[in-house]
Amino acid sequence: ASRTYLPRVTEAESKGALARAFEGALYWIKPDGSRVTLIAEEPPRLRNFLFGPSWWVDFSTAWDDDGSLWVLLETSRRPGTNGRVIELYHGGTEGRLELHSVLPAVPAPWALVRRGRTLGLRGHQGDDIYFAPLPRKGQQPDWHKAGLNAAWKDEVAAVLVKDGLASWAGTDGRLRRSKGTEESVFLAHAVTVAGKTLFIVPTREKTGSAASVYEGKTLVQQVWRSPESVHYSLEMAADGTWWGWRDKFTLHLLTREGKFLPPVSVEPAIRSLKSGQGELKGMPRVLRMEEGKLWLLAEDGRYLAVVDVGTGRLVESWAMPKGCGDFITLPHATSDGFFLDGRKGLYFVGWDGKARKLGWKS
């Protein structure tokens, strides 16, 4: 979510990918296959297998506003300890991260999260959820009790609205000042594009639906009208393009420049990958849009397809390496291409369709 309004975060993520190893290390992998050790390996000791607490190592990661990286590490492998060790690290991706703080086990730090615009720690104690802004170096978190899960969700929603990252809206397409008691009221998250903060509100009409577009609190246009009730949720690609499915194989697209494009069906293009034979597998993912063309990962990761945005026709396509179908994790796009995690290894695929196997296996 932070990528929607933090350009330094988008820039940082576009240069490589984070990868964790069973041995307990965290790496930054670059498109050329080189890797930087951010947190060193912690091989499990034999006594951990025999007597516990087993071999557990876990990471939670988050990018700060300036593009630096925070890592919450929980490990049971540290020599000289009989239980969990919880540490907070910080730094850039050029080398080892620096230990920022050793955290207490109560409340139990669970993840790095954003509460509105504030990056911090989410913790648990019993059934209660806690939040703390990131502590100063060497200091302990200042925990704030949020209550049970429902109370946490309400608090997060209130802060998002306060920080201008969301707005309450109704299915009639109008924004609301508060949640109120209407069952149909929902939270519309902000979309930041071309320096503008937009709220795209799904709107019911007498003969179908549309998306009402607000700039701040002002209704500026309605787009993507349909005689039927369709989906209007969007997600952001690595290059800043917003995309979402109108229905099966028809896309809504919002460009980096803030232009709402007419819906485009990519079904003919995807079917042509298989020469019209057999059922289509999975939903394609939009990785990039450039010069009127879409780069899609289709058929559960088996093909990279370039599709003309105006016509929906297939321009070019490449088969991905064997074993990349039903990929293990979602592809991670960069400025030069994308990482594709297949069952036979990790690949980096350029926008020209050339795939290179990296010296890494999940």
pLDDT of residue 1: 47
pLDDT of residue 82: 61
pLDDT of residue 30: 93
pLDDT of residue 49: 45
Three-state SS for 13? helix
pLDDT of residue 278: 66
* Contacts of residue 4, Cβ cutoff 8 Å, sequence gap at least 6: 165, 189, 190, 191, 192, 236
Between the alpha carbon of residue 76 and those of residues 46, 58, 84, the distances in Å are: 12, 9, 5
Contact 349, 338 (CB under 8 A): yes
pLDDT of residue 48: 46
- Which residues in the chain come in under a pLDDT of 50? 1-2, 47-53, 362
Cis check: omega of the bond before 141, within 30 degrees of 0: no
pLDDT of residue 26: 92
pLDDT of residue 47: 47
CA distance 286 to 255: 12
pLDDT of residue 279: 76
Which ranges constitute the DSSP H helices of the chain? 7-13, 46-51, 149-162, 267-273
> What is the layout of strands, in order, in the sheet containing 337-342?
332-333, 337-342, 345-350, 355-357
CA distance 341 to 301: 9
Question: Can you read off the two tokens belonging to residue 210?
Answer: 């549309």
Question: Can you read off the two tokens belonging to residue 248?
Answer: 């099966």
Question: Can you read off the two tokens belonging to residue 204?
Answer: 């019911």
CA distance 212 to 188: 11
- For residues 79, 80, 81, 87, the Cα torsion angle rounded to the nearest 10 degrees is -60
pTM of the model: 0.89
Contact 59, 72 (CB under 8 A): yes
The residue assigned the tokens 């064997």 is 322
